Structure 1
Amino acid sequence: MVHYFSSNFKLGILGGGQLGKMLLYETRKFDISTVVLDPSPQAPAKLAANTFREGDLMDYNTVLALGREVDLLTFEIEAVNVEALKQLEKEGKKVYPSYQTLEKIQDKAVQKQFFEDHGIPTSPFKIFSTKKEFEAAVEKGDISLPIVWKSATGGYDGRGVSILKSQDQLKELPEGKCIAENLVPFKNELAVIVARSPKGEVKSYPVVEMEFHPTANQVEYVLCPARIDDEVAAKARKLAEKVSQAFEHVGLLAVEMFQTKDDEILINEVAPRPHNSGHYSIEASYTNQFEQHLRAILDLPLGETKSKTGAIMVNLAGEEGHTGPVTYKNIEEIMKLPGVTPHVYGKKETRPFRKMGHVTIIHEDLAKAREIAGRVKESIKVISE
């Protein structure tokens, strides 16, 4: 049996952003030794890692060297060199989630095709190899506007996604492979996090509801439990577990979905890692998502996924018109409110819509939590000095 706790075992983490930082809360709790790789010398996870390596996550040799230094490798961001992960797995190194899972998810066009091939309900879509090919389809009328345009690769935190309402917007789109998706008439945007271990133990978290910023295409609020019927919630969790089974992933899989006007569930996208929609779990769940990710990749028994109480998470993003050294204005004021816990990610520079932290509000009454969350959103401002 492998001894993980207070031992010579080393866990490698590709990426040292806020997700890596929060994962390290749990490795510190269990005294699991870590080596973190990130391109930024000011990465949020730097201080909590046992060893920090500065380097390019997309560089084959850099990732290979890091992987050979550790006993098991995981990642907190999809933009990593898959070929290096493939080579490491060939050499017998444990990489969770596997390179096969990441390969299917990194490219959103491949991901959408995977859903279709596995009978997973998703919005109708078309794939285009180039911007020119997409523009020609619009010109010919093969694609009717409005449409959701997505870059196949590189999209993150609302970037790489646009709702196109007129042909004038086409010139603003970047070059490259893309997807055109039909607009879905939905009631709610939901998410379910599923944990799966190498031995095949699976547990899902309660369905959460997401409220988005109207222009930044970023999540502003995450509510748990989602304000939906029990029957719809059960359907969403069952479908998320089906998606997990199809990918045969190990670790966490965040499954984003739409609840249509007819209460059908359509899968939007997935992420093979801890996710923004699961941050509420740090305060509200019996087992938070970061501990669960560790349990899953180390093949330890999965923890209880139930919530202790209702919770709402508010994302803290940089204010428009502010770029530079960060200040969290009125943070002391929100800390006076009941059930409020701020999380500051440790990014020293703010810019418009950059994720800088989040605030969790816990309360037995979700309506009351939502009211407090609104006050938090109005009060705290992430600005430059």
Structure 2
Amino acid sequence: MPGTKPYFSTDFTLGILGGGQLGKMLLYKTRQWDIATKVLDPSGAAPARLACNQFQQGDLMDYDTVMDFGRDVDVLTIEIENVNVSALEDLEDQGVRVYPPPAMLRTIQNKASQKLFYTDKGIPTAPFTRFAYTSEITDSLKNGGLSLPFVWKSARFGYDGQGVKIVREAADLQGLPNVECIAENLVDFATELAVIVARNPDGEVVTYPVVEMEFHPEANQVEYVLCPARIPDKLAGKAREIALKAASAYGAVGLLAVELFLTPGGDILVNEVAPRPHNSGHFSLEGSYTDQFEQHLRAILNLPLGSTDNKVATVMVNLVGEADHRGPVSYEGIGDILAMPGVSPHIYGKKETRPFRKMGHVTIADASLEKARETAAKVKARIRVQSKTKEA
């Protein structure tokens, strides 16, 4: 690989589709490296608007908007999957370097296509049935083609626990949108894991340590991320091998976050993937020699990939809006958690809270994972993301 690329303090421009918290944290590193950036987001209050060189408000799913935005950048990346892939394909044809590759993103955008991809490539995943419409599931249950329980997943536009529901009886189907979907076998898993893979265009690839995820039972969102995962080295190695296989099969460039189920029998199944920086990688901001955002930049700019080794054990706590609060946000207990050892809060800059909306996260670093987990529980008990007016 040649020496320094002409990215730093030049007229090179990196375009980012999406200006949420992931875009904001990606900009930490572009500012450090003096890389010019341009961000597109539907919201005029997007967190990333303040740190980029150019901010444009617009619809990420609109073909013309994405085309017009992308023509003026040298490399185009994403911080959210719900973007117009047809525009990305055409921009790529016009010479814009687009990462992740649009063909990969097209497959990932649709959960049914994503699951079929794993089946075709021999990547272990839970058995599933694909349906053109949710209404077809009732007939399948009556005819014996499908049995309860299962997990219903909308094929498109599911995000942060939305578009997913465990169906234990036929009545649970009521109220679900009548859309393309999958019915996935309900996996009896012991632990949910994740592995982040980084890969550049030259094919250099690294993986981060396997992390363990604990989910909020009501919101179906990650509540805690523990790094390293509390599993035997042999299983951790197996998880990394499966994640690497997935990244290679996709031809990934940039980051690929691979979410996994670990069954009681030691099987590891791919749940789904995200081709971008991911909530399961936030631990790396304080815990890794190279955080996930810097690594994503290194990968898409075809620079040498950085060390993924841990400097310290870490636990990440998501800060989400209280269930009965909506409106201008108020963070209660920040001073208290800052008094705790190893605590680093990250506030995303969203001015309005709503139930279970991701508003920030806290990383707890400690030489002992057990002590970090204990501190994380104290953080969770103390901090509150509220609104100034409680919902009726």
State the TM-score, normalized to the length of structure 2.
0.97
Q: Equivalent residues in 2 for 1:129-278 (5 A)?
A: 129-278=132-281
Instruction: Specify the code of the residue in structure 2 equivalent to 1:140.
Output: N
Q: Which residue of 2 aligns with 1:113?
A: 116
Q: Which residue of 2 aligns with 1:23?
A: 26
Determine if the alignment matches structure 1 residue 38 to structure 2 residue 60: no
Q: Equivalent residues in 2 for 1:302-341 (5 A)?
A: 302-341=305-344
Which runs of at least 4 in structure 1 moved beyond 3 Å after TM superposition? none
Instruction: Specify the code of the residue in structure 2 equivalent to 1:107.
Output: N
Q: Deviations over 1:79-103 (max 9, x none)?
A: 0000000100111110011100100
> CA separation in 1, counterparts of 2:292 and 2:121?
26
Determine if the alignment matches structure 1 residue 5 to structure 2 residue 8: yes
> CA separation in 2, counterparts of 1:171 and 1:241?
39
Q: Which residue of 1 aligns with 2:107?
A: 104
Q: Which residue of 1 aligns with 2:386?
A: 383
Q: Which residue of 2 aligns with 1:298?
A: 301
> CA separation in 2, counterparts of 1:365 and 1:249?
34
Q: Which residue of 2 aligns with 1:93?
A: 96
Unaligned residue ranges in structure 1 (runs of 5+) = none
> CA separation in 2, counterparts of 1:115 and 1:108?
11
Following superposition, the deviation at residue 139 of structure 1 comes to 2.6
> CA separation in 2, counterparts of 1:32 and 1:291?
12
SS of residue paired to 2:201: coil
> CA separation in 2, counterparts of 1:114 and 1:244?
12
Say which of 360, 363, 370 aligns to 1:360.
Answer: 363
> CA separation in 1, counterparts of 2:217 and 2:370?
21
Q: Deviations over 1:5-39 (max 9, x none)?
A: 01100000000000000000010011000000000
> CA separation in 1, counterparts of 2:138 and 2:55?
45
Q: Deviations over 1:225-282 (max 9, x none)?
A: 0000000000100110011000001000000001111111100000000000000000
Q: Which residue of 2 aligns with 1:52?
A: 55
Say which of 57, 72, 76 aligns to 1:73.
Answer: 76
Instruction: Specify the code of the residue in structure 2 equivalent to 1:316.
Output: L
Determine if the alignment matches structure 1 residue 126 to structure 2 residue 129: yes
Following superposition, the deviation at residue 134 of structure 1 comes to 1.7
Matched residue count: 385
> CA separation in 1, counterparts of 2:207 and 2:165?
30
Following superposition, the deviation at residue 166 of structure 1 comes to 1.3
SS of residue paired to 1:142: coil
SS of residue paired to 1:263: coil
SS of residue paired to 1:319: coil
> CA separation in 2, counterparts of 1:184 and 1:169?
18
State which drifts further: 171-180 or 9-18.
Answer: 171-180
> CA separation in 2, counterparts of 1:120 and 1:328?
42
Q: Which residue of 1 aligns with 2:351?
A: 348
Instruction: Specify the code of the residue in structure 2 equivalent to 1:120.
Output: I
Unaligned residue ranges in structure 2 (runs of 5+) = none
Instruction: Specify the code of the residue in structure 2 equivalent to 1:376.
Output: V
> CA separation in 1, counterparts of 2:143 and 2:377?
45
> CA separation in 2, counterparts of 1:141 and 1:343?
49
Instruction: Specify the code of the residue in structure 1 equivalent to 2:269.
Output: L
> CA separation in 2, counterparts of 1:118 and 1:79?
24
Determine if the alignment matches structure 1 residue 279 to structure 2 residue 289: no
> CA separation in 1, counterparts of 2:191 and 2:134?
30
Instruction: Specify the code of the residue in structure 2 equivalent to 1:355.
Output: K
Instruction: Specify the code of the residue in structure 2 equivalent to 1:321.
Output: D
State the TM-score, normalized to the length of structure 1.
0.99
CA RMSD of aligned residues (A): 0.7
SS of residue paired to 1:45: helix
